[in-house]
Amino acid sequence: PTSPSVLMALQLAHPPHLVAAAAAQRRTSSFALKSLEDFAESEGVEVPPRARKEYFALAEAGVAAIIANHRLHRVPRGGAAYHDELSRRAALADLVRGCLCIDPTRRLTARQALAHPFLHGSG
């Protein structure tokens, strides 16, 4: 149930004769874009396979591989600094994997994450 004042306001905002005139002028276009598959079928051409976007070349290897290899070429190989960097990256990968675990019973709690060795420099 709409109040009479609201109905009057709507009629003033959109006078019926203007609404009817606009509806009479409205045309629907007979043109429309075809999907790639429909176009290929109607033109008898083959659809090239769509390229799959890969944001990380190592995405299938998982988080640990992405973290382990990210800009590793900038770290001088060999020596204590290199091995420290590798252990820090392994600890970070463990923390991220624990936080992103889908199973809530295995996922790290906030308390466990804050106590993780990576955050305390011992990882």
pLDDT in tens, 65-108: 878 877 877 777 888 888 888 889 899 999 998 998 888 999 99
CA angle 39, 41, 43 (to 5 degrees): 65
pLDDT at 82: 84
pLDDT band at 10 (very low <50, low <70, confident <90, very high): low
Task: Say if residue 35's pLDDT is above 70.
Answer: yes
89, 65 Cβ separation under 8 angstroms: no
pLDDT at 66: 79
For residues 11 and 88, what is the distance between their CA atoms, to the nearest angstrom?
A: 69
For residues 22 and 39, what is the distance between their CA atoms, to the nearest angstrom?
A: 34
pLDDT at 100: 85
pTM above 0.85, yes or no: no
% of the chain exceeding 70 in pLDDT:
70
Rounded-to-10 torsion of CA 81, 85, 90, 92: 140
For residues 86 and 46, what is the distance between their CA atoms, to the nearest angstrom?
A: 48
